[in-house]
Amino acid sequence: MPEIGLRRIKLLLNSLKEEDASEIFNMSIPDLLRIEGIGEQSAKNLVLFDDWSIVDRDLDLTEKIGASLVSITDNHYPTLLKHIYDPPILLWFKGDQTVLETDGLAVIGTRNPSKYGIKQAMEWSRAIVEAGLTINSGLAYGIDSIAHDTSIRNGGKTIAVLGSGIDVIYPAKNRKLVSDMIENGSVIMSEYLPGTVPDAVNFPERNRIVSGMSHGVLVIESGIKGGSMITARSALDQNREVFVIPHPLDQMNGEGCNYLIKTGQGKLVQTMTDILVEISVNANKRSVVSVNHPEKKWTMMSLDQELTSICQILEKEELHIDQISDKTGLPTYKILPQLLNLELQGAVKQKAGKYFELC
């Protein structure tokens, strides 16, 4: 629909009392105008929409090509991806849907890697698989393809996010790789309608998904410009860790990697341990704090209502900043200053990977 993008769809869904999106199409224009961010033209477009044959066509095509759909309210939707600024509302995918729920690390880099880059991509991808993490990437030539291929060759799982429709494999030479991935229980997915051709504007949008669904991003090899640098910046905006492989000074292919390290935007890593100490991949599986635990510091402080509510949320377990944002209903840019305030007062401690726990 014209005037209805991801942000407005999310506003509409958040306004519902129940998770049934069909309620939106029963609303009147005055009802819709009461929702912040929905203007008169958007409301009219929603009320007047009746071309359900297009919807039926897309659903039929999805079934015909052997793909499935997962929505932002479904259990299999990647958990971390829900918390980025502009998460896709729907994802088309092929493969084992349970892989979408696994802890993953993004592996990215140039389409034209050097021998050094190829070696690093293979060695690091193997190490990531051995650590039990899923490799997320974008199916591009070069580092992306090496990461996907190394994963399945070593018995791991990998997710490829496309910048085209789920039935339009790009680059076409990677069709065999895609087939091998699905056969080995991995996943390809896309936010674009089936039949969507690869377009330049799609790939930066694709990159936000690669980083958003991952605990961190590993930049294997990158020039000073290009998709990998865009993905790294996207990761930083999404409060994800950025890990970087250092490169020889005379190697232009790795100039972007050294730049990220030099400017403090990425963390130099030499072993898999350097990454694992920075990401809390088991944070959601840790046991609940005992009721007999000594009284927390925040209970003896005079805190305002917002700070108190954050502490109450952290009572049971440590949480990522995105999870705190989700539970409070406040954006991360508003939550972070409050968490830093609590940290300065000694009520909260920040851990690796932007996880927070009570002191």
Same domain, 271 and 174: yes
Evaluate if residue 336 carries a pLDDT over 70.
yes
Same domain, 111 and 214: yes
Question: What's the pLDDT at 31?
Answer: 92
Same domain, 210 and 346: no
Q: Is residue 102 part of a domain?
A: yes
* Mean pLDDT of the 326-340 span: 86
φ/ψ bin of 239: left (φ > 0), alpha (ψ from -120 to 50), beta (otherwise): left
Question: What's the pLDDT at 282?
Answer: 57
Same domain, 208 and 340: no
Q: Is residue 73 part of a domain?
A: no
* Mean pLDDT of the 76-103 span: 93
* 267 or 326, which is more confident: 267
Angle at 335 between CA 331 and CA 336, to 5 degrees: 120
Q: CA 332, CA 198: separation in Å to the nearest integer?
A: 32
Evaluate if residue 272 carries a pLDDT over 80.
yes
Are 163 and 191 a contacting pair, CB within 8 Å?
no
CATH number of 301's domain: 1.10.10.10
* 188 or 309, which is more confident: 188
| 278-302 residue pLDDT tens | 887 753 332 223 233 456 788 878 8
Q: CA 159, CA 142: separation in Å to the nearest integer?
A: 16
Cα four-point dihedral sign 304, 306, 311, 315 = positive
Same domain, 259 and 292: no
| 38-83 residue pLDDT tens | 999 999 999 999 999 999 999 999 999 999 999 998 989 999 999 8
Domain limits at 35?
6-50
Are 283 and 318 a contacting pair, CB within 8 Å?
yes
**What are the strands of the beta sheet with 68-71, ordered from one edge?**
68-71, 90-95, 187-190, 158-161, 134-137, 104-109, 216-221, 241-244, 267-268
Q: CA 131, CA 127: separation in Å to the nearest integer?
A: 6
Same domain, 237 and 298: no
Same domain, 160 and 298: no
Q: Is residue 175 part of a domain?
A: yes
- Which residues fall within 8 angstroms of residue 93, CB to CB, at 6 or more apart? 67, 68, 69, 70, 100, 166, 187, 188, 189, 190
CATH number of 226's domain: 3.40.50.450
Range list of β-strands (E), 216-351: 216-221, 241-244, 267-268, 319-320, 348-351
Are 15 and 46 a contacting pair, CB within 8 Å?
no
Same domain, 158 and 265: yes
Q: CA 15, CA 13: separation in Å to the nearest integer?
A: 5
Q: Is residue 311 part of a domain?
A: yes
Same domain, 236 and 328: no
Same domain, 155 and 299: no
- Mean pLDDT (the chain) is 90
Please count the structural domains in the chain: 3
Asked if the peptide bond before residue 171 counts as cis, ω within 30 degrees of 0, the response is yes
Same domain, 146 and 10: no
Same domain, 115 and 42: no
Are 214 and 191 a contacting pair, CB within 8 Å?
no
**Which tokens sit at 37?**
């961010």
Evaluate if residue 242 carries a pLDDT over 70.
yes
Question: What's the pLDDT at 283?
Answer: 35
* Mean pLDDT of the 234-245 span: 94
* Mean pLDDT of the 323-350 span: 86
DSSP letters spanning 192-239: SPTTPPP-TTHHHHHHHHHHHTSSEEEEEE--SSSHHHHHHHHHHHTT
Question: What's the pLDDT at 199?
Answer: 93
Q: Is residue 41 part of a domain?
A: yes
Question: What's the pLDDT at 73?
Answer: 87
Evaluate if residue 330 carries a pLDDT over 90.
no
Q: Is residue 162 part of a domain?
A: yes
Choose the final residue of a domain: 276, 301, 322.
Answer: 276
* Mean pLDDT of the 182-200 span: 95
Question: What's the pLDDT at 83?
Answer: 87
Give the three-state DSSP class for 137.
Answer: strand
Query: Between the CA of residue 53 and those of 49, 57, 69, 89, what are the distances in Å?
Result: 11, 6, 18, 20
Confidence band, pLDDT 50/70/90 cuts, at residue 326: confident
Q: Is residue 71 part of a domain?
A: no
Q: Is residue 100 part of a domain?
A: yes
